[in-house]
């Protein structure tokens, strides 16, 4: 899958895009594992968590050893919340909440959204990657 965020403000004719090639966590087990125990993530890569039914989503950083941006997206493909989630150590872990009904979650390297000026209310596109 490819996650594309239209960039630039609405007043400009120039439209820039940021593309993230995402591994898709389709099954329950893959969603539970997420990015656990991965030692690196290329800058243009991420993980997409699609959900059949929109709902409030809660993520945590247990056993995740790379800092992440957690991007919550509604059924209209609009970003509803972005969390910067640092690596956590210890017994207790912070819970990252969607702050609304969410159909998709994308995890990328922490700072990706800030670096690419991706913000709440940005519209995105999700499409299948063309092999070849």
pLDDT digit string, tens, across residues 99-111: 999 999 999 999 9
Task: Look at residue 93 in the predicted model and tell me its pLDDT.
Answer: 87
In a domain, 7, yes or no: yes
Is 71 contained in some domain?
A: yes
Contact in structure between 26 and 1 (CB atoms under 8 Å): no
What is residue 6's three-state secondary structure?
Answer: strand
The answer as to whether 81 is a domain residue is yes
pLDDT in tens, 31-65: 888 888 888 999 999 999 999 999 999 998 888 99
At 32 the pLDDT is 83
- Domain assignment present for residue 91? The answer is yes
Does the structure show a pLDDT above 70 at 130?
no
Bridge-based pairing of strands 102-109 and 45-55 is antiparallel
Give the pLDDT score at 11.
43
* Mean per-residue pLDDT over the chain, rounded: 87
Out of 38-47, 89-98, 123-132, which region has the weakest mean confidence (pLDDT)?
Answer: 123-132
Is 50 part of a structural domain of the chain? yes
Neighbours of 46 (CB within 10 A): 24
Q: Check whether 78 has a pLDDT greater than 90.
A: yes
Check residues 26 and 98 and name the one with the higher pLDDT: 98
Residue 12 lies in a domain: yes
Res 13 pLDDT > 50: no
CATH number of the domain bearing residue 99: 2.60.120.1140
* Residue range of the domain that includes 53: 2-127
Residue 132 inside a domain? The answer is no
| Helices H / strands E in the chain, number of each | 2, 9
User: Number of folded domains in the chain?
Assistant: 1
């Amino acid at each position: 899958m490819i996650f594309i965020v239209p960039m630039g403000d609405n007043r400009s004719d120039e439209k820039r895009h940021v593309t993230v090639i995402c591994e898709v966590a389709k099954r329950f087990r893959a969603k539970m594992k997420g990015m656990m125990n991965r030692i690196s993530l290329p800058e243009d890569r991420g993980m997409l968590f699609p959900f059949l039914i929109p709902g409030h989503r809660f993520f945590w950083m247990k056993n995740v050893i790379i800092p992440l941006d957690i991007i919550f997206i509604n059924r209209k493909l609009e970003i509803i919340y972005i969390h910067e989630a640092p690596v956590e150590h210890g017994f207790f872990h912070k819970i990252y909440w969607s702050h609304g009904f969410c159909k998709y979650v994308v995890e990328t390297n922490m700072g990706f959204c800030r670096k690419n000026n991706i913000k709440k209310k940005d519209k995105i596109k999700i499409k299948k990657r063309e092999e070849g």
